[in-house]
Structure formats: structure tokens, C-alpha cells
Amino acid sequence: MAIDSQRSSRLSTPGVDHPAHYRRRARVGDALGIALWLTSAFAVALFLFSGGTARFGSVADAVTSVGIATGLVGTNLVLAMLLLAARVPFIDHAIGHDRAIAVHRALGKPAFYLLLGHGVILLIGYGLSSGLDPVAEIGPMLAIPDMLLAILAIALLAVVIVSSAALVRRRYSYETWHLMHLLSYAAVLASVPHQLSIGSVLSPFSFERVYWLALYILAFGAILTHRLAEPLVSSLRHRLRVERMEPEAPGVVSIYLSGRRLRSLESVGGQFFVWRFWTAGTWWHSHPLSLSSVATDTQLRITVRDLGGGSRSISSVPAGTRVWFEGPYGIFTDAGRTAPKLAIVVAGIGITPVRAMLEDSVLKPGEATILLRASTVDDTFLWGEIEELARQKGVAVTMMIGPRARTGPGWMTQADADRGLTLLGVFPDLLASDLYLCGPTSWLNVVEADARAAGISDHQIHAERFDW
């Protein structure tokens, strides 16, 4: 997108707006964390003030009440997870989609353990109350209205949690994992009847019932609005279709998409969209892919690498295929800069957002340095475009081609490690720079660790990991 020079200068001039921008992100992130704790505490307080305190007259009642409170907190965390994954513009712009999803993932296990503990503690409490052991109490508990739906909800949530573990996730394609992850919506919906049917906790017409229904409406309303309604309306308005395919390297292809009024999307170089290609073999899965060039009013470009069945299938869709999308998302843009210099380290398909960000940025000669990293010559796709943009903008470019070093810094080639090259050697002004990193997660983690060891501050690091 060809944005006006005034806006570009504001986004790209470090040391003025950008520290405030970073502090604002930090404040919003802290506020979201505080809100999470406050809503959990409020859920428990509502339970106590609506009769919960009367249930602490005996050990059995106290244990049962703790079990109920545990379930309420767990449910609150699950609803917060849904909201964080709903791609709400305020959250995405304030802390970034990547950070929101990181918090979403971090809440998964605590929420699951709380809900599982909710069931176990209730078994113990009911057992103490009736004089039965917890195992014998299972039968009567199953007779509670909608209990089977609650057990189904826990089982579905367990599938989602297990499938999200890194070791398990690698065994599946992104498309399979994504479909499994959608079970979290079914899990939450299955739990609603159970929660509302316990009249002594959420009695009809009570403020507590209204409060919880409002939370459910907020979470699912955000999902329906930002994951379904808005993308549907935007896709119909802009009428994207595949215009043509252009091979960039073995297993790498650029897809040119044509549409109308695309500048009104206000996408910025470095952002990504979630794409859905309407063919018989691809309509059922979506793909988060960054723009690989700045949008014009009638054209977008993405570059896809064959990393599995899903990316392979969209690399051969025919011209004229209708494309639906969500976005733009992400804050891997120069709007987050805080330092006077810019350092960029990129490898593999990570070249796509970096190429678009470089094109969209207004830079002074000598302000930026880019390190391009590839294992083989076949991995140097789009490097020519990066070099041309760098020449136009006065950006220094360093290239590294070869397998990762076995000794020395593992992110560089063995030859570079043997001659004692360091990150500070490539970027002498690293500590006065914003460091943008994009590439495979394992490689990127090594670069980031090296940068931190060199003394760069956390707020100067902007990482885009190709992971899910």
C-alpha cells in the first residue's frame, strides 16, 4: 500500500513517538493481566456474596464451595482465552496478535487443571457430605442435570490441550491442528447448560447468572464479529481472486491477488492476513501468511513455501479462484521502533514480511542493516528484491549462505563462526538499534539469545516466529 509521506515519516522516525508507543503496549499488557485477575476474583466474590459464605458451615460444605469456586475461575480463564484468540482489533493493536496468542496458550493448562480440579474437589466434597468415598460418589454425580455435557466439555478441552503441546503439535499439519483446536469452542458451549442448570449457584434472574451470560455473549460475540462477520463482509467488498502464480525458487511461489479498493484495508508492510482459497481441496482450511510486498489499490502479493500439504495445495490453485481473508493483523512493523538504528535478521520464508516492511519504511541512508540468512542457494528467494530496495534506501546488506554452525553461534554458517564473527560484528550499532527477527523458530531463538547476551534490551527486540 502506498501510504502518504506524512504517515510514513511518523511511523519511521525513531526516538519520538515510539518509546511512548512501547510504554503504551506495556501498560495495556499489564492492564489485561490485572483485568484477568480482577475478573477471576470478582467471579469468586459473586459466588460468596450470593450465598457461598453460608456453605462453609462444615468441612464437606467448605470443600464443595472451594470446588465450585475453582470451576468459576477456570471458566473465567477459558472465556478470556477465547477473547484473546478472537482477533479483537483493540487487543491486536495494543499488544500484538503474537503476544495475545502467547497469553492464550499460557492460560490453557491452568484453566484445564482448574476445571479438572473442580470436578475432583466436588467429588470429595459430595463424598464427605453423604458419607461415601469419592469413587462411590461418581454415580450420583452423573445424575446431576447436564453433567454428561460437562464431562464432554472437559474431554474436548483435554484434546485441545494435548494437541497444543509442542511435541504433539509437530506430528500434525497446521490444518489438522487447527481443526482440532476448534474443539475448544465446542467445549465451552457444552459446559454452558451444566453451569446454568445448577440453580443454587446461578439461580434464575440473579445478577450472577446475568454476569456469566454477559461474559459468554462477550466472548462468542467477539469471535462471531471479528472471526466471521467482519472477514465475510470485507471479503465480499474487496472481491479478491487469484490473478496469477509466479515461481520464485524450488517449492516457493508468489501468488498475486487482484481486488478492489485494497488500500482501504490500511495494511502495513510486515503484517499478515489469514487466507482461505475457495477450491474443492482448500476451502476447509485457512493460512496465516504475510504480505510479501506493499499492497496497491488493486493487487496484493503473498509468497508461499511448500512446508506441507496445506501450503502445497494453495501453491497450485487456478487463476480466478475466489479468496476470502481476515486481517490485517500483527505489529511486526516499524511502528514499534524505539531506537535510532534498525537491525534486521531474516531467514527462510521470514523474508516475506521483512521485504514488505522494508518497502513500506522511510529510512535515512545508513540507518538500517539487514542480515540475510539461507542454508542453500535455493533458499535465497526474494533476495534480489531486498537488495534493490536496500540500494534505493541506503541500507547495508550482509548475506550468509550455508548450513548452521556446529561450533560457535549456531545461527550463522560454520565459516563465519570459525573466523570469529559475532552479532555485534554484523551490527556494530546493535545496542542503539531495534532488532527485527523473522524465520524458523528454533533458529530465531538462537539469534535472540545471542542478542540478549550482547546486552540489547527486551523492548528493542521484535520477533516474528513462524510457529503455531
Task: Specify whether the CB–CB gap between 259 and 240 falls below 8 A.
Answer: yes
Please report, rounded to a whole number, the percentage of residues in the chain having pLDDT higher than 90: 51
Q: How confident is the model at residue 467 (pLDDT cuts 50, 70, 90)?
A: low
Strand partners, 345: 371, 437
Comparing 359 with 195, the larger pLDDT belongs to 359
Q: Where in the chain is the domain with CATH 3.40.50.80?
A: 337-465
Least confident residue range of 33-42, 301-310, 322-331, 423-432: 301-310
pLDDT one-digit tens code per residue, 77-92: 999 999 998 988 888 8
Residue 148 has pLDDT above 60, yes or no: yes
Amino acid at 202: L
The DSSP code sequence of 257-317 is: EE-SSGGGG---TT-EEEEEE-STTTTT--EEEEBSS---SSEEEEEEE--SHHHHHHTTP
Assign 17 a pLDDT band (cuts: 50, 70, 90).
very low
pLDDT at 352 over 70: yes
Instruction: Name beta bridge partners: 289.
Output: 273
Confidence of residue 166 (pLDDT cuts 50, 70, 90): low
Q: Which tens digit of pLDDT belongs to each residue from 285-334?
A: 888 899 999 999 999 999 999 876 667 788 889 999 999 999 998 888 88
Report the phi/psi class of residue 448: left, alpha or beta, with left for phi > 0 and alpha for psi in -120 to 50: alpha
| pLDDT at res. 272 | 93
pLDDT of residue 7 exceeding 50: no
Mean pLDDT of 146-160: 85
Distance between CA atoms of residues 404 and 401, nearest Å: 9
Q: Does residue 33 register a pLDDT over 90? A: no
Give percent above pLDDT 70 in the chain.
Answer: 88
Q: Is the pLDDT of residue 407 over 70?
A: yes
Mean pLDDT, the chain, whole residue set? 85
- For residue 459, pLDDT beyond 90: no
Position 25 scores a pLDDT of: 56
Name the residue with higher pLDDT: 22 or 281: 281
> Which of the 8 DSSP states describes residue 13?
-
Name the CATH topology of 337-465.
Rossmann fold (3.40.50)
Q: Is the pLDDT of residue 3 over 50?
A: no
**Which residues partner with 398 through β-bridges?**
371
Amino acid at 468: W
The CATH architecture one would assign to domain 239-329 is Beta Barrel (2.40)
Question: In the CATH scheme, what is the code of domain 5-233?
Answer: 1.20.120
C-alpha cell at 299: 493487487
pLDDT digits (tens, 9 = 90+) for 201-245: 566 778 888 899 999 999 999 999 999 999 999 999 999 999 999
Torsion of CA 379, 385, 389, 394, to 10 degrees: 50
Decide which of 142 and 191 is more confident: 191
Q: Where in the chain is the domain with CATH 2.40.30.10?
A: 239-329
Q: Contacts from 13-16 at CB under 8 Å and sequence distance 24+?
A: 14/337, 14/338, 14/339, 14/340, 14/341, 14/342, 14/434, 15/338, 15/339, 15/340
User: Is the pLDDT confidence value at 18 over 50?
Assistant: no
pTM, two decimals, is 0.82
Cis peptide before 328 (omega within 30 of 0): yes
Residue 9 has pLDDT above 70, yes or no: no
pLDDT above 90 for 15: no
Q: Give yes or no for residue 355 having a pLDDT over 90.
A: yes
Listed in order, the ranges of the chain carrying CATH 1.20.120 are 5-233
pLDDT score for 421: 92
Identify the pLDDT of residue 2.
30
Distance CA 394, CA 429 (A): 16
pLDDT for residue 10: 29
Whether the per-residue pLDDT at 356 is higher than 90: the answer is yes
Structure confidence at residue 12 as a pLDDT band (50, 70, 90):
very low
Give the residue from 73, 103, 109 showing the smallest Cα distance to 85.
103
E strand or H helix at 242: strand 241-249
pLDDT band at 11, cuts 50/70/90? very low
Give the per-residue pLDDT at 202: 65
How far, in Å, CA of 291 to CA of 265, rounded? 13
Q: Is the predicted pLDDT of residue 468 greater than 90, yes or no?
A: no
All cell numbers assigned to 295: 499492497
Tell me: pLDDT of 351 over 90.
yes
Beta-carbon contacts of 461 under 8 Å, excluding residues fewer than 6 positions away, are 434, 435, 437, 448, 451, 452
